[in-house]
Amino acid sequence: MLDQVLSVFDISPDTDLNLMRPEQTLNGLASRAIEALDALYSREKPDLVLVQGDTTTVFCAALAAFHHRVPVGHVEAGLRTGDLSSPWPEEANRILTSRLATLHFAPTEMNRRNLLREAIASDRIFVTGNTVIDALLMALQKVKEHPPDMPGISARTVERWYSGASLVLITGHRRENFGRGLEAICQAIAELANRFPETDFVYPVHLNPNVRRPVHGILGRGKHRNIHLIEPLPYLAFVAMMHHATIILTDSGGVQEEAPSLAKPVLVMRDRTERPEAVSAGNAMVVGTDSDRIVEEASKLMTDSIAYKAMARAHNPYGDGRASGRILEVCGRFLSG
């Protein structure tokens, strides 16, 4: 899943730590990451380590750098829900990383205020926008110049989307939703597919077995002709599909930032979000994992043009596509003393 993203942006890694294992535990991943990064830092002796996001590997990279007395720059700093269990374990990862970081690259002013409340020095916080939007705008240009193939989707179906047929794009893979939450999401999708038989519901199913088992069990085996369960999409194909989508149902963090740039209403299938800016702007709505609520709000968007237009506005509080340049400028000043 990572390799195809690197190829889109012509990135060739100098080092592959080769950490991932089937059915891995978080502690197993963390122990392998810290050991591998310890060896890497000893060999490379970096002057600054940049970490991006809130994954377990982000925290491990920051901790290993701290042990080597190497300063850390945290890209996408200051996102908070105030609940360590949601999203899990990401909320803890980003809080712990903030305690270790020297430079904090906050996507929004709200993120900056979160860091200030945690006693992070103001001269170490830089509001830059999010690099997610940089990547999205670059990818969107590629998609418009050379429309990508849509693996798992027939050419006839794609043609329908170009002609204006409705598409609901779904992503669901959050750890805190494993079990009942994900099952409720799938039941909601099944009900929506019954209500709107002419709408295509496309779900690129994450490779994690805890996702694949309930999704294929509830939605698979050809139970609904308008539900398309496909393999995870290459990044450009996923961007193209977001561009075609009528609405997006997701528990992902990044999609909550990308959808507003594309003027796509997004229903967030989580109990809370660390990205409330889009909710405040009216582009996103938090609906949780209650099946009835998901069906109600999605149906409203698909039948009420006024409600749809109110959410389908191209307004993105997460950046203008120039975050990377701002981050590079700050890093240059820091490294020059």
76 is catalytic: yes
Spatial distance between the Cα atoms of 104 and 123, rounded to a whole number of angstroms: 9
Burial class (CB in 10 A: 0-12, 13-18, 19+), 299: middle
Q: Which among 113, 124, 160, 175 is annotated as catalytic?
A: 175
- Which of 32, 112, 206, 270 is an active site residue? 206
Q: What is the CA radius of gyration of the chain?
A: 20
CA neighbours closer than 13 Å in the CB half-sphere of residue 117: 11
Beta strands in the chain (DSSP E): 49-52, 72-75, 103-106, 125-127, 167-171, 200-204, 227-230, 247-250, 266-268, 284-286
Across the chain, how many H-helices and E-strands are there? 15, 10
38 an active-site residue?
no
Q: Is 326 a catalytic residue?
A: no
Alpha-carbon span 259 to 54, nearest angstrom: 20
Look up 104 and say whether it is catalytic: no
Catalytic pick among 74, 80, 90, 176: 90
CA 38 to CA 281: how far, in whole Å?
A: 42
Copy the structure tokens of residue 91.
């909320």
Catalytic entry in 76, 134, 200, 257:
76
DSSP per residue, 293-335: HHHHHHHHHHH-HHHHHHH-----TT--S-HHHHHHHHHHHHH
Amino acid present at 18: N
Angle at 336 between CA 335 and CA 337, to 5 degrees: 90
Q: Which amino acid is at 193?
A: A
Instruction: Please confirm, yes or no, whether 90 is among the known catalytic residues.
Output: yes
Pairing of strands 72-75, 167-171: unpaired
Tokens 């701290």, residue located: 66
Question: What is the total residue count of the chain?
Answer: 337
Which DSSP category does 245 fall into? -
Instruction: Please indicate whether residue 173 is annotated as part of the active site.
Output: yes
Of the residues 94, 173, 243, 275, only one is catalytic, namely 173
Give the residue numbers marked as catalytic.
54, 76, 90, 173, 175, 206
